[in-house]
Structure 1
Amino acid sequence: MQPRNMSMSGVVDLAAVKAAGEAKQKAEEARARAARQQGEGQAAPVSLVIDVDEADFEREVLQRSTQVPVVIDFWAEWCGPCKQLSPVLERLAQEYAGRFVLAKIDVDRNQMLFQQFGVQGIPAVFAVVAGQALPLFQGAAPEQQVREVLDQLIQVAEQRFGITGVSVEGGEGEQAAPRAPEDPVLAAAHSALDAGDLAGAIQAYRNVLSDNPGNTEAKLGLAQAELLQRVQGLDAARVRKEAADNPADVQAQIRAADLDLVGGHVEDAFGRLVDTVKRTAGEDRDAARVHLLELFEVVGADDPRVVAARGALARVLF
């Protein structure tokens, strides 16, 4: 039986359906506790922009992320681009009115967090949703690009985790509308995947998509279930030898890329197929290209490794 919660990310994977389901359950429990506390007068609406350090990171970021996406701005006083980006993020946090919370972390005073997130340079922007981290972008990006990234983040938080935001400080904001109950067919698909019934899960996800073609969670689940079905029974050593011995054999490279991805070697899987596209032509090239696009669906369109691989693919094709 293949595991469902494959490692797909260097920090914490938002693309694993099982992890999303477990995090969603924890988030729902945390929201229920918060609602009870608020009813007892124990909880107050949150601020939209907060300064965070290592001592309060768990409370202010990890725990808070079960109710609202937390966007982290890694910055420093000496950083010129940070001074361009931070005001944009702060203004957007107010404009989005509780759809996300901005946590500002001074890297000079919080080296441990800087290292744990694997930050390569600042400004760097990450998000935490239901306790899971996601790299968003690095550098002083244009405001329109920042808006697009935030919109994608909010969509991911709602569709995969049922997290829709919080009320803002001062009572001006409103609690987000209650989330609709989970589609029972989608729940059945998740259960089939958990049980190792890959054929049943694939059919169930396809049933969901036939009624709702835009369901992100079903698309992700289907892509992962199909990937797991493809690698079942493969002899890893044999597959890798065949790929090494036959670099122009598209099907050999596809099988090896699938194994790379299941093993968490995302860049290797993408690079292998980009190279295959480069060295082939006609139907072989198209098969490699289409399969690479399918693997993008497994990891998630917003993953920076997918963005980089799309760029590499475009350079090969054009």
Structure 2
Amino acid sequence: MAKKNRAKNQAASEAPAPGGVGPRQPCPCGSGKRYKACHGAPGGGTVFVKRPFEGFASEPDLVALRELVPAATVPLTLVGEHAGRTVQLCTLLPMAAPAMVRDSGDIWLGLQVQHNFGDPSRDLAAVLLAALEAEPGAGMIGLTSAPGEGPRLQDLLDPAAPLAVTVHEGFDYWVADMEETSELAQALEQAEGAAAPTDRLTSVEAAYWTRMGAKEHLRWAMPEPEDALLDALARLHVTGDDVIVPDARLVGMFRAHGLLVPVWDLAVGTGAEALEEPAAAFKAKLDAALADTSDLTPEQRSARNGLANRQVTIR
């Protein structure tokens, strides 16, 4: 009887959560942990949004800025009662603060934060609303618990407006309008020491070159449905058209906030500029492959399986 009970309990623990997420699958929150060790754990949260930035014209860039890019800023245009307030979206703020209210009353909103309550869009909106209500010079604003029901970022911004992303070499934007203190200088030094050089391509959307140690990569957040994208990439792989530049290799991909992010290894010394025209040419081939709805050939199916199994780490 005890053996039967153990088997029953184990089966229950392995059952998918609401929404079809299995305990051993990646948590939908994007943490990179298994569901059972993240939001599936006791007290792990109850909100699960697979694509928190869905609906934004710049959804892939938002995903990349939250997960890949060390230092970047984006001016935000609020709608509704808060229209006219100056808000700057930042990949990272000092001490990973969720938001800062400057002496001028301007607001800096951080994407890369310590908390994660299952819906980053709702979390960002909650922090932003708290910052909008704070007095000028209030400093850091954050969340200490799940925000509960409320608007999401899509409700406070115009989702159709494209984002004007500026990638910075470092975090000098932290001190652009303020006197640098010893504490801030120390935080700046630590952050810049951990930041990998990164550039955003201008010829295509949400594609970022980076150098990590002695290696260079292209990481490209793509909004297309995963199954269709894998089919298209498999078609291009079989014909050799997934080689964006000479000596580049599509090494795999990862999932972040509901999007697939293919990753290419690049030859050392490639740099971002050399990728501009080839990336645009690859995008044209990818669009043609996405439009092809014919059945995959056995060779293409094999390539698709290989691509689907090549999971790489985010950073």
Q: TM-score, normalised by structure 1?
A: 0.24
Of structures 1 and 2, the one scoring higher in RCO (CA 8 A, sep 6+) is 1
Greater helix share, structure number: 1
Give the strand-richer structure, 1 or 2. Answer: 2
